[in-house]
Amino acid sequence: MGLAKDLKNRLRQMNTNDPERGYRFHETRRFDDRKQAEAVLHELLAGYRIAGTEWFDLHPEDAAGLLRGLHRRTAADGRSRRDEGSPDE
């Protein structure tokens, strides 16, 4: 989750402290109001937060399902655009 505009740069930043360079984007979506989308996702994921951290503990596909659902809802309202390409391009 996050508000990154430049996914390649964000991934590079995340992997800086990981010698395995193991971080990958499982799924991405573009929202016109990124801050609102992140706030809603944080509410949906509140029960999965790892105490004292910014991280959540759930299967990536479960998180992606929540992301897709929120994207569909906002797209139905005409407030989001579909991303093109894959997350790791």
Given this model, what pLDDT does residue 2 score? 63
Task: State the Cα–Cα distance between residues 5 and 21, nearest whole angstrom.
Answer: 20
Q: Hey, what are 49's tokens? A: 């937060």
Per-10-residue mean pLDDT of the chain, 89 residues long, equals: 79 89 90 91 95 94 95 76 47
Residue 88, pLDDT score? 47
Residue 44: exposure state from Cβ atoms within 10 A (0-12, 13-18, ≥19) = middle
Give the number of C-alpha atoms closer than 13 A to the C-alpha of residue 33, restricted to the C-beta side.
Answer: 12
The tokens for 38 are 């992140």
Write down the domain spans for the chain.
7-81
Rounded to whole angstroms, the Cα distance separating 75 from 53 reads 30
